[in-house]
Amino acid sequence: MAELKQALSPQIYSFDKITAAMWQLDTAVYLLKNRSEDPISTGILVYSAWSVVKDLLRDGATGAVRHYYAEAGGCFDKLHEFWNFCKHAKEDQNCEMHFPEGYIETSLFSAIHDFSLIHELSQNMGDFYYPRAEKLLK
């Protein structure tokens, strides 16, 4: 009986929204770096974190990815499909998601970029983000 009581009274974790987004992005980077065979979980981590970051950014935040993608002819809408797929599961239970191979990496880069506007990047996120950002700037 004591084992059951302990199992029902697990340790309590406390964290804020920025910490939650950081853990999710760090985990997504780890999965991507290690060639995870689980792109769906990686994508869900990315979009969950990006959703938090999006809400923490002020409307019109200078440098947010969505503004650049909006100018790129609906590119953000395409990336946003994964978000909507998870968000609207109740309304469209038979919906299927299809995404190309580079979709998750692009979304992760974008989410980390937006995260960098509100908080310092972790080492893991920086190792993923900065080399890609340098390529884009060349």
In the chain, where the domains are located: 39-137
CA dihedral angle for residue 58, residue 79, residue 47, residue 133, rounded to 10 degrees: -70
Residue 106 to residue 108: CA distance in whole angstroms? 5
* Chain segment 59-71, per-residue pLDDT in tens: 666 788 877 776 6
pLDDT tens digits, one per residue of 97-124 = 777 778 888 889 999 999 999 999 999 9
Phi-psi region of 32 (alpha: psi -120 to 50; beta: other; left: phi over 0): alpha
Residues 6+ apart with CB under 8 A from 17: 52, 55, 56
Q: Are 66 and 76 in contact (CB under 8 A)?
A: yes
CB 114 within 8 A of CB 53: yes
Q: How confident is the model at residue 38 (pLDDT cuts 50, 70, 90)?
A: confident
CA distance 43 to 49: 10
